[in-house]
Amino acid sequence: MNQEIKRIVIVGGGTAGWLTAGIIAAEHSADGNSDVEVCLVESPDVKPVGVGEGTWPTMRGTLEKIGVTETDFIRQCDASFKQGAKFAKWVTGKEDDFYYHPLVLPQGYADINLAPFWQPQSDKVTFTNAVSFQGHLCDHGLAPKQNTTPEYAHIANYAYHLDAGKFAVFLQNHCTKKLGVKHILDHVVSINNNESGDIKSLSCKNQEDIEGDLFVDCSGFSSLLLGKHYQVPFISKKHILFNDSALAVHVPYESEQSPIASHTISTGQSAGWIWDIGLPSRRGVGHVYSSRHISDEQAADELREYIRESVGDKADQLEFRKIPIEPGHRQKFWHKNCVAVGLSAGFLEPLEASALVLVELSAAMISEQLPANRQVMDIVAKRFNDKFLYRWDRIIDFLKLHYILTKRTDTEYWRDNCDPESIPTELQDLLTLWKYQSPYHQDFTQVDEVFPSASYQYVLYGMGFKTEQPLSAKQKSMIDTAMENFQKNAKLSHKLLSVLPSNRDLINKIKEFGLQKI
């Protein structure tokens, strides 16, 4: 029980494996003087899923922490800037139906909740445009910074779109060459326990057993360690989130200088939705859908018609890749001396890019709370499991929120999503509460919530939700302050539209000149 944690073995590469390796190694072994060794073993034949192309703003801090320059990352990972998500045809399904979930907080959010003051003018200006400038930037395809803005700094908060395959290779090179991560290419053929039931070692096809003190399962959907070896049950969430299939494809631009959207575009379909992500060299497009409500052939037809709008008959030449999805997660994520990160822990759907941020958060907590010895590992494991069960539940609530406020009744899929039986109880309670008071800081209890109350505001009011909230005495005394914030946002919107370059222009300049180092 007093055995020190000296060797961390990560099973599986891809984005999850290499991000985890980088985050742990940067904190515990990058200086070369640490006793902690990070080793990653992956099969040479297993290809990563490779469609996790959207990140959160947290990725900026992660990359900076592990010692990556933003210039190298953008150049080598075919990365572009993401400032939020645009949801089209989720409310009525009509052509003019869309709203934004931007990445900047509403104006003055730390001090004032502008939602009650916006409600009386909701028919004149959208919530996003009233409290944030970022929807305007997305409308015009603008970048979140200038080429003189230092690396990882911002004018408008931003995340990234990236090529997941290139990102994994980029991280692998950085981890092995700069952070001292040991890389083993081999097939794991068996997992060996010690007398206490902990994993002692991995038997591989071509070399001696790989021993470790902590094993991180990044083996993807196969969940080799936590799922197959330890038989930790999988908790399906298909009764809440119906989408269980995806078709993915790379779509070429019309020209090398075609505009790059600075947001993810999510467009509602008859039984799911289509993602559209702009990278410098191509678009990543895919259809996420429920096989209970539509056939693969019909889903492919809808995806092809969507693509045809931008590339014409070239859409007929594109081949789609089918990706099965089982929405849900493991009953727990850390069992004995094994912890799952990434798809081996679970997956819901690509909506709101929650998969990669869960990798970041998981790896960061493992690194920060890395047990000194086996005796304290179970304590850390319990904290980890409690934290991430809470996080998965909140993500499920937030994703479901996008569906249950729809006014679409044109297909069974949208009608079924509004069935109270498919809506988590806590989310139903929050919706009841929000009829009478707008979401704000006290609605969520964790200091590091995955989605802040501001995100709920953007989705609620983007979907046309109404809060019957007469101004309180205190709020009435803040009317002038609220109006000042609305005016400040309008001026800032106007100013930024005139000074920020397009997404394409900034990326071109970064490729040619690079960004300033901080």
Q: What is the DSSP string of 232-268?
A: PPEEE-TTTS---EEEEEEE--SSTT----SSEEEEE
* Nearest-angstrom CA–CA distance, 354 and 205: 35
Q: What is the DSSP string of 127-159?
A: HHHHH-SHHHHHHTTB-SS-TTSPTT--SS--E
Quick one: pLDDT at residue 35?
80
The SS3 call for residue 211 is strand
Return the DSSP state at 78: T
Quick one: pLDDT at residue 447?
72
* Nearest-angstrom CA–CA distance, 368 and 454: 27
Provide CATH code, domain 7-53+163-233+327-392.
3.50.50.60
* Nearest-angstrom CA–CA distance, 211 and 209: 6
Enumerate residue ranges in the chain where pLDDT < 50: none
Q: What is the DSSP string of 424-447?
A: -HHHHHHHHHHTTS---GGG---T
Candidates 363, 338, 355; CA nearest to 21 is: 363
The pTM assigned to this predicted structure is 0.96
* Nearest-angstrom CA–CA distance, 13 and 261: 29
Q: Where are the domains of the chain?
A: 7-53+163-233+327-392, 245-324
Q: What percentage of the chain carries pLDDT values higher than 90? A: 93
Quick one: pLDDT at residue 111?
95
* Nearest-angstrom CA–CA distance, 325 and 375: 37
Beta strands 80-82 and 159-161 are: antiparallel
Q: What is the DSSP string of 492-518?
A: HHHHHHHHPPBHHHHHHHHHHH-PPP-
Match domain 245-324 to its CATH number in 1.10.10, 3.30.310, 3.30.160, 3.40.1350. Answer: 3.30.310
* Nearest-angstrom CA–CA distance, 154 and 152: 7
Beta strands 283-289 and 245-251 are: antiparallel
Quick one: pLDDT at residue 445?
73
